[in-house]
Structure 1
Amino acid sequence: MSVLDILKERGFIQQLTHEEEIAELLSKEKITFYIGFDPTADSLHVGHFLGMMVMAHMQQAGHRPICLIGGGTAMVGDPSGKADMRKMLTPEDIAHNGELFKKQMQRFIDFSNGKALMMNNADWLLNLNYVQFLREIGVHFSVNRMLTAECFKQRMEKGLSFLEFNYMIMQGYDFLELNRQCDCIMQMGGDDQWSNILAGADLIRRKERKPAYGLTFTLLTTSDGRKMGKTEKGALWLDAEKTSPYDFYQYWRNVDDADVEKCLALLTFLPMDEVRRLGALKDKDINVAKKTLAFEVTKLIHGQVEAEKAQQAAEALFGGAGNFDNAPTVSVTTDMIGAKLIDVLLSTGIIPSKSEGRRLIQQGGLYIGETKVSELDFLLTADLFENNSLIVRKGKKNYHRIIIE
């Protein structure tokens, strides 16, 4: 089975520029391809992880990935999938974020002995001569055709800045530059990048008179079309400091039944026979598949040890007994004992606001252990603690342990 067949079977592929040519190319040759990552935050998130899984499958088949850090394109901001213009970042922020991206990618991609490359488009974009760039590259882009691209069309009503309008040209130039420097002949990306990928492949064919290809993979969405990876605290980050291994594990443990098989196929390396077996489980048995999904994805991101700790914490919390050491834990000082529970939960970050705490209590969604908190002025007293520890539950599945320092 070729790597293209593997990507198809697992549900990655959305669009290809030249399907028959790509199928023959990937089965008979070893190519260099790239995926770009704009460092607009100080961590990769689960949406990026999908692209890294594609790179990993390609690398396992002998192809060479280029992880392109968008140090130059991040100065402009990609309008794709955005209703408003992105926040402008400083060069220092972009450089810092790019370095953090590199560290995270090295956990998934083997960069030893030239098996993969890490590059930064700031190296060629930031020093371009503007007039020369327009004459050499801009002449090959039709404004009429650019305006038909989905990434621009959805922004036309609110307004599209000329700054952002350059993004497609810059990304197309990246592909050309990587083709010239590294013989890179394929760009991959999320399906929202289709127009940008087409622009780069077309530019290479025009400038270099040789073939170039594009492939997009599915965006990580739920069965009803919502974007996956959003949590109560924001994005589902790959950095353990921003999303703890336990919270990361719990996100996948709690996905909708209808999304389990898709996530197992896209986000783990389990054989597809096992994916289909787990995905076919029904009712209570689907929890076996969810536990497998949560463990496998957490293991890939945070390692075997952290995945086991997260699993043990979840079993302890949901089973009502066991080792709570790895559960999400906050500490309080003795002078906080006797204070209002809402105030303690706010000061420890368990709730974002007092109004949220009051809403939880009024709707019957706040528990100490198995006891529902029904009073807005409920006090956190010493007798609630057992061995200096107690469990607070928000809703059905959000647990925290509070310990006394």
Structure 2
Amino acid sequence: MSAVFDELTWRGLVANSTDGAALAQHLEAGPVTFYVGFDPTAPSLHMGNLVQLMVARALQRAGHRPLLLVGGSTGLIGDPKAAGERVLNSKETVAGWVGTIQRQVERFLDFDGPSAARLVNNLDWTSGMSVLDFLRDIGKHFPVNRMLAREVVKARLEEGISYTEFSYVLLQSMDYLQLHRTYGCTLQFGGSDQWGNITAGVELLRRSDGQHVHALATPLLTKADGTKFGKTESGTVWLDPAMTSPYAFHQFFLHAEDTKVIEYLKVFSERSRADIDELEHQVVEAPHLRAAQRALADDITALVHSPAERDAAVAAAAALFGRSDLDQLPESTLASVVAELAAPVLPVGGELPGVVEVLEASGVVPSRSAARRSIAEGGAYLNNNRVVDPDARLVQGDLLHGRFVITRRGKRTVGAVSFERG
């Protein structure tokens, strides 16, 4: 078996393949040109996309050549979803997202050397194609009965599906055909929800050019309760730091369930089997140390953002729970922390509010009377300093970077307020 196929299998990254044994032999035989696509249906990639980038990194390390497709044409259409018809984004919006996502994906692969990656955009070969050529050269190879049998199409037939979304599979299949003819691409992979589109591309190459090519699908990652991985109460976990801060990103992985953390480590960390086996042992023997969660959060934050952002996230968490000084955190990092804590914004007029009012506003206590009890018991903190006087008021020097206050009750209940001048 191919070493890289064996690694992908061990890491749990192979849900389906057209022929696993044949694909392993193909990868073992020599450098393979492969492609993975990303549709610009949002201004950033998310955690599901990162799964595909990790597969691409593993294949490139093994000497294979990546084609990273950002779908300037398929992004204008949108893959059909069971939930209903998509709202079409404007051409200008999609073009802007193409550029943004291209800049994101190129950070993860090497664009130099014998296995250099290449960015491609399917708008380059579809924009000048006539409807007649599309129907004759591509549509001719797609039996409608096969298209109607696709699960997502069957789910939409009762309420209706536009011809636009119905024909998406033809566009994506044409990408494989084009990339095979131009670059000799013989492997496409993507998420398991794309398996129908991916295998349709394999079939198109067989029908149109008589070529046998390969396909692979990665599994859908889920949380322990079966819900979609990469989703939080506040929304999707994005790779763009402006949409999900490095601190929030690090915290998301730091809170991975014990039952799932090793699965996530295999996918998102490039640690060796021996290292991950040791972390798995620690999950069983010393789960309270959360060594696997720390390794996962550190590795993935360093990869997606940078080692410096990882260090800042770790420092912010330490400061938040009283293990270091909050006033040493950069304003941008502290602002991310405050945003993650959903801090209320309080107006600043003349006199600043009292400590009891601030504790209540931040949500660490349910009422002012509870704030007073917490102070009396010695368990109330502002900026990691114990509050001793329930009648004290904030002064300007209490505002970190002139606008933030971090509150805490006991060791673990943390909140914040942000002040804004009117």
Q: TM-score range by the shorter chain?
A: 0.7 to 0.9
- Secondary structure of 1:199 counterpart: helix
- Residues 1:273 and 1:130: Cα distance change in structure 2 (over 3 Å): same
Q: What is the Cα-based RMSD across aligned positions, in Å? A: 3.5
One-letter code aligned to 1:335: G
Query: Quick one: structure 1 residues 396 and 255, their matched pair in 2 at CA, closer, same or farther if it must change by over 3 Å?
Result: farther
Whole-Å separation in 2 of the counterparts to 1:63 and 1:226: 34
Q: CA deviation at 1:262?
A: 0.6
User: Retained in 2: the 8 A contact 1:198–1:214?
Assistant: yes
Structure-2-length-normalised TM-score: 0.82
Q: CA deviation at 1:271?
A: 0.8
- For residues 283-340 of structure 1, the C-alpha deviation after alignment (integer angstroms, 9 at most, x for no partner) is 6435121111111110001111110110111122134543451442478764286569
| Aligned residue number for residue 354 of structure 1 | none
1:259-270 equivalence runs, <5 A: 259-270=260-271
2:300 pairs, out of 290, 297, 300, with 297
Quote the residue 1:192 is aligned against. 193
Structure 1 position 390 matched with structure 2 position 377: no
Greater alpha carbon shift after TM alignment, 105-114 vs 192-201: 105-114
Question: Which residue is 1:13 aligned to?
Answer: 14
Secondary structure of 1:215's counterpart equals strand
Q: 1:163 to 1:365 in 2, by over 3 A?
A: farther
How far 1:403 moved relative to its partner? 6.8
Kept after mapping to 2: 8 A contact 1:65/1:115 = yes
Shift of 1:99: 0.6
1:335 aligned partner:
349
Q: Contact conserved, 2:358 with 2:417, CA < 8 A, in 1?
A: no
Contact 2:56–2:66 (Cα < 8 Å) also in 1: yes
Deviations 1:105-148 (A, max 9, x none): 12111122571110001111222211221112111111111122
> Is 1:12–1:217's contact at 8 Å kept on the other side of the alignment?
yes
Q: Is the 8 A contact 1:75 1:88 kept in 2?
A: yes
* Counterpart for residue 288 of structure 1: 291
Residues 113-122 or 332-341, more deviating: 332-341
- Partner Cα separation in structure 1 for residue 51 and residue 379 of structure 2: 38
Please list, as runs of the form range in 1=range in 2, the aligned pairs for 1:2-401 lying within 5 A after superposition. 2-80=3-81, 82-113=82-113, 115-280=116-281, 281-282=283-284, 284-323=287-326, 325=329, 326-327=333-334, 328-329=337-338, 334-335=348-349, 338=352, 361=366, 371=380, 381-382=393-394, 386=398, 388=400, 390-392=405-407, 399-400=415-416
CA distance in 2, matches of 1:75, 1:365: 54
Consecutive unaligned residues in structure 1, runs of 5 or more:
352-356, 373-377
Deviations 1:149-189 (A, max 9, x none): 22322323332211100101111111101111111111100
Deviation at 1:361, TM superposition (A): 3.9
Q: CA offset at residue 396 of structure 1?
A: 6.0
Q: In the alignment, residue 96 of structure 2 is paired with which amino acid?
A: H
C-alpha contact 1:338 1:379 (8 A) present in aligned 2: no
Q: Which amino acid aligns with 2:312?
A: K
Conservation of the 8 A alpha-carbon contact between 2:38 and 2:71: yes
CA-CA distance at 1:34 after TM superposition: 0.6
Q: Given residue 276 of structure 1, which amino acid in structure 2 is its aligned partner?
A: D
Following the alignment from structure 1 to structure 2, what is the Cα–Cα distance between the partners of residues 127 and 233?
41
CA 361–25 in structure 1, closer or farther in 2 if over 3 Å, else same: same
Q: Flag as ranges the 4+ runs of structure 1 deviating above 3 A.
A: 282-286, 319-324, 329-334, 336-341, 364-372, 378-381, 383-389, 392-405
Report the Cα distance in structure 2 between the residues aligned to 1:89 and 1:73, rounded to whole angstroms.
11
Gaps of 5+ in 2: 340-344, 382-389
Partner-residue secondary structure (3-state), 2:37 = strand
Q: Would you say the 8 A contact 1:339–1:379 is kept in 2?
A: no
Q: 1:223 to 1:27 in 2, by over 3 A?
A: farther
Match of 2:385 in 1: none
| Aligned 8 A contact 1:66 1:118 in 2 | yes
2:52–2:191 CA contact under 8 A, matched in 1: yes
Match of 1:375 in 2: none
Deviation at 1:240, TM superposition (A): 0.9
- On the 8 A contact 2:67/2:117 being kept in 1, the answer is yes
Change (3 A) 1:140 1:336: farther
Secondary structure of residue in 1 paired with 2:177: helix
- Cα–Cα, structure 1 residues 379 and 38, in superposed 2: closer, same or farther, change >3 Å? farther
| Aligned partners of 1:77 and 1:167 also within 8 Å | yes
Larger radius of gyration: 2
In structure 2, the CA distance between the partners of 1:15 and 1:86, relative to structure 1 (3 Å rule), is same
